Amino acid sequence: MTNSSLKRAVGIAMLASASVGANAAEKDLGNVAIDVPTSFNASVLTAGAFNDVFSFTLPEANVSSGYTVQNFPLTISDNGGSFNSMLTSLSLVSNADGILFNSDDTVLATVANTANDASFSLAYGESLQGPAYLSVAGIANGDLGGLYNGAIAAAVPEPETYAMLLAGLGLMGAVVRRRSLRETC
């Protein structure tokens, strides 16, 4: 009995010590306008792993959206320390009811930064409307932590796209009409 209590206490202590190094922040970006990039930034003020969440709402339908994050290294002169982040992954999650981390959250796309680039992007080529969030994970490895910034951009079809759609529908209508005239003659 004492042995299992000791194991439980050691397990709890290990989890507690692991969570000390983990950082997480949640930030609501509000409505993201279509064709106007929305920027965000974050600071992790202790070294260690982090997983930040940026929630937003796309109030209008779009044809695609893009997401970018970039490390912002900063060294303070005279041995003041440094900020640096190794960004490891970026995930786009649909959040139908606007409540974070419940059963309706659906991961739409994830990209891992396997090359350890200072900047990387995620492109989502389908329409997205309503509440969603970005999950940015990484490791702050500067003396003072890490800094990074990012942007969200959503696109709508250009007028030329609608013109081509209408022209195609017009051609289809002409073909159908011509066939129906042939069949009646």
C-beta of residue 58 within 8 angstroms of C-beta of residue 132: yes
Q: Which tens digits make up the pLDDT trace of 103-151? A: 899 999 999 998 889 999 999 988 889 999 999 999 999 999 999 999 9
Q: Which tens digits make up the pLDDT trace of 42-87? A: 999 999 999 999 999 998 888 889 999 999 999 988 778 999 999 9
The more confident residue out of 161 and 91 is 91
Q: What's the confidence (pLDDT) of residue 15? A: 40
C-beta of residue 153 within 8 angstroms of C-beta of residue 66: yes
The more confident residue out of 107 and 169 is 107
Asked whether residue 5 is assigned to any structural domain, the reply reads no
Q: What's the confidence (pLDDT) of residue 166? A: 67
- Tell which residue, 73, 92, 91, has the closest CA to residue 83: 73
Res. 10 pLDDT band, cuts 50 70 90: very low
DSSP H or E stretch at residue 178? helix 159-184
Residue 39, pLDDT above cutoff 60: yes
Asked whether residue 8 is assigned to any structural domain, the reply reads no
Asked whether residue 185 is assigned to any structural domain, the reply reads no
Asked whether residue 17 is assigned to any structural domain, the reply reads no
C-beta of residue 134 within 8 angstroms of C-beta of residue 91: yes
Asked whether residue 113 is assigned to any structural domain, the reply reads yes
Res. 17 pLDDT band, cuts 50 70 90: very low
Asked whether residue 180 is assigned to any structural domain, the reply reads no
Q: What CATH number did the domain enclosing 84 receive? A: 2.60.120.1050
The number of domains in the chain is: 1
How far apart, in whole angstroms, are the C-alpha atoms of residue 36 and residue 34?
A: 5
Asked whether residue 76 is assigned to any structural domain, the reply reads yes
C-beta of residue 154 within 8 angstroms of C-beta of residue 57: no
Q: pLDDT above 90 covers what percent of the chain?
A: 45
Owning domain of residue 134: 23-174
Residue 38, pLDDT above cutoff 60: yes
Res. 90 pLDDT band, cuts 50 70 90: very high
Asked whether residue 1 is assigned to any structural domain, the reply reads no
